[in-house]
Structure 1
Amino acid sequence: MKKAIEELQPYIPEQPLEELQSELGLSKLVRLSANENPYGTSETVKDAVVNWAYSQSNRYPDGDATELRNLISEKFSLDPKQIVFGVGLDEVIVMLSRVFLEPGDEELISSPTFSEYALHAEIEEAVIKKVPVLANGGIDFSNMLKAITPKTKLVWICNPNNPTGTFENVKDIEHFVSQVPADTLVLVDEAYIDFVSEPNATAMDLTKKYPNIVVMRTFSKAYGLANFRVGYAVFSKEVAEQVQKVRLPYNVNSIAQEAATAAFKDQKFVDEVVKNNAEQRTQLEAFFDEQGIKHYQSQANFIFFEYKDADKLADYLLHNGYLIRTGLRPNWLRITVGTADDNQNIERLIKEFSK
């Protein structure tokens, strides 16, 4: 066995909600720890999945996800060959790490950020270099540039960043990419980009200008398809061809493709989700400001905030029916922006605990 595997601290997924609820003896438990969409899924997705069900279960899926590929390429004016699909962005991260990292190579990340970037670099026995975020939670592009060496193969930019929720505009990303060596890939993870209030937030067009930038998207968040596991990355055509070599055949199953295709076509549902999230995010941040609770300005569907007795507060919320994310930074918590009712309850519970 590889030594890197023996020493690896694996990513630990969320405990099944029903199981945790039963353990705690609660009549209701709301998960606000995984940045899931609290508004569910488009009705068109339900119809598409029910209509497909078992009709072709004896056949392999479309290995190219042709219909979904064409819809995405049309929306962003891409060559369809630029797109590589994965079973969620998790598989895309695995593919990128496998293709570009060898033992001794370096990967550069902000800190804190999504833990799977470093996890899969460790598996490939690469060196992970971390650059702390700025005081406002944003990415420190200046020090990221200084940290790049001839051994740096991958640079990760999560935008908006998880867990800080902070957002970097395309102009700043392009200025950074233009200074990065051509043989170093800049990976822009836009899992939460739909929630950004600013127009023209995506860096997708930069893939047509810079061959060393990759933009990644998922259907797990704004589209509400976390259970279906569909993600994709957009490369230059030349790089995409190399990554396709390690993609498992038929990796995205037919039901997932049907769901993602239907969801992609129902932009009205996504717009409503984004609108509700923005309203509730503003309300929750205003509450934190009123209570004097430090937080980063979020452009995602979650808020990262500091609290002196963070673990005790999280435990109090848990035993009152709300699960939020701990362990990302000492005395900091991440909470998914929920529905209006859930956020009102959260505010009430935090006030009660703070007395």
Structure 2
Amino acid sequence: MANKKDLIREEILSIKPYVPGKPIEEVKRELGLEEVIKLASNENPLGASQSAIDVMKKAAEDVHIYPDGNVYRLRKKLSEKLGVAENELTFGNGSDEIVIMLGQAFMNPDDEIIMAETTFSEYRFSANIMGGNIVQVPLKDYTHDLDAMLEAVTEQTKMIFVCNPNNPTGTMVGQEEVEEFLEEVPDDVLVIFDEAYSEYATSDDYPETIDYLDDYDNLIILRTFSKIHGLAGLRIGYGIADEEIISYIDRVRQPFNIGALAQKAAIASLEDEEHVQQSLEYNQQGKKYLYQQFEELGLDYVPTQTNFILVDIEQDNNQVFQEMLERGVIIRSMDSYGYDTKIRVTIGLPDENKRFIKELKEVIRD
């Protein structure tokens, strides 16, 4: 048989597979541990709303039936909650699937996307798979430099991705910056604000981007049920944009890409505002505790608008990651983002945060 590499599209060769945080069961199995906590993937430590769990249990009886391909009930619920038209919404198997659909719908070979140098990696994947080119702009004080991103725009620019708040730094760009940025971006360049962590942002300056949809037909907003709603295992996200833009995205959306359980759980989650508020309160308390501990340890950290913190442990982060793993605490090494001494830790429940700090103290003092 011919060299298998000759069968592959050239664009695929430049793609590096996404490496997720280690699953708890895998760590238990590999290291023979009985108790493991995971603070690596920015999941909600409270879990899903009990209402969502109850709905899924009931809906499990009908899993032999295909889901609603038009996502009618969730579409209607979100339309009412967000104040947008139903045809201004699209849905993905996680918001990262919508990132891929954006590439499929709009990218031509040699088109450019502009993204931060240190941000969510799936934007790069979306361009790579379609043969597009990637223009990376360095962060400024761990934050998107919107002025520099504007300067990077060329005639080949098709999309600009702004993760706000940003993963993995936890920082955000404010309302005035966003308004000035949108005013200057050419009309034929799509601007995607990925707001996966928006519900965790507590700054008064956090922009309400939905308010800008009427003025900017090139604006696309991405959100997810994976984070504060605690439905990461169901994989459901959504996009908000001009009706025509949505119609093009939906041409590449797979039929039945949102499972029946996911649709019902998402509706229940939207209705359970108490669970969202409780999740935010736990996050704020945990953030305050971890800030205090990092300061007592003399460790620099980046103040966050999310449910995770980027912290400099001033040691080889891969070694610290492995030693923490052996102690039953899964965190995220940031070496793949170019940070050799930084880790990212998800804010957990009080006992999880205390255990993380206890183990971290022992590891970095050894």
Q: Distance in 1 between the 2:299 and 2:20 partners?
A: 28
Q: 1:85-124 counterparts in 2 under 5 A?
A: 85-124=91-130
CA contact (8 A) 1:193 1:202 kept: no
Q: Given the alignment, which residue of 327, 335, 341 partners 2:345?
A: 335
SS, match of residue 163 in structure 1: coil
Q: Distance in 1 between the 2:226 and 2:138 partners?
A: 27
Deviation for aligned residue 1:95: 0.4
Match of 1:189 in 2: 194
Q: Does 1:311 align with 2:324?
A: no
Match of 1:51 in 2: 58
Q: After TM superposition, which residue ranges in structure 1, 4 or more long, deviate above 4 angstroms? A: none
Q: Does 1:175 align with 2:172?
A: no
Q: 1:91-170 counterparts in 2 under 5 A?
A: 91-135=97-141, 137-170=142-175
Deviation for aligned residue 1:53: 1.4
CA contact (8 A) 2:20 2:41 kept: no
Match of 1:235 in 2: 241
- Residue type of the partner of 1:71? K
- Residue type of the partner of 1:23? E
Q: Which moved more, 1:305-314 or 1:271-280?
A: 305-314
- Residue type of the partner of 1:39? L
- Residue type of the partner of 1:234? I
Q: Distance in 1 between the 2:228 and 2:80 partners?
A: 20
Match of 2:25 in 1: 18
Match of 1:350 in 2: 360
Structure 1: segments with no counterpart, 5+ residues: none
Q: Distance in 2 between the 1:354 and 1:244 partners?
A: 49
Q: Aligned in 2, Cα 1:308/1:198: closer, same or farther, shift over 3 Å?
A: closer
Match of 1:323 in 2: 330
CA contact (8 A) 1:193 1:201 kept: no
CA contact (8 A) 2:313 2:364 kept: no
Q: Which moved more, 1:176-185 or 1:284-293?
A: 284-293
Query: What TM-score does the superposition give when structure 1 sets the normalisation length?
Result: 0.96
Q: Distance in 2 between the 1:330 and 1:183 partners?
A: 38
Deviation for aligned residue 1:191: 0.3
**Aligned Cα RMSD in Å?**
1.3
User: Identity percentage over the alignment?
Assistant: 35
Query: What TM-score does the superposition give when structure 2 sets the normalisation length?
Result: 0.93
Match of 2:4 in 1: none
Structure 2: segments with no counterpart, 5+ residues: 1-7
Q: Distance in 1 between the 2:208 and 2:117 partners?
A: 22
Q: Which moved more, 1:98-107 or 1:15-24?
A: 15-24
SS, match of residue 103 in structure 1: coil
Q: Distance in 1 between the 2:187 and 2:245 partners?
A: 12
SS, match of residue 192 in structure 2: strand
Q: Distance in 1 between the 2:179 and 2:104 partners?
A: 26
Match of 1:9 in 2: 16
Q: 1:194-209 counterparts in 2 under 5 A?
A: 194-199=199-204, 201-209=207-215
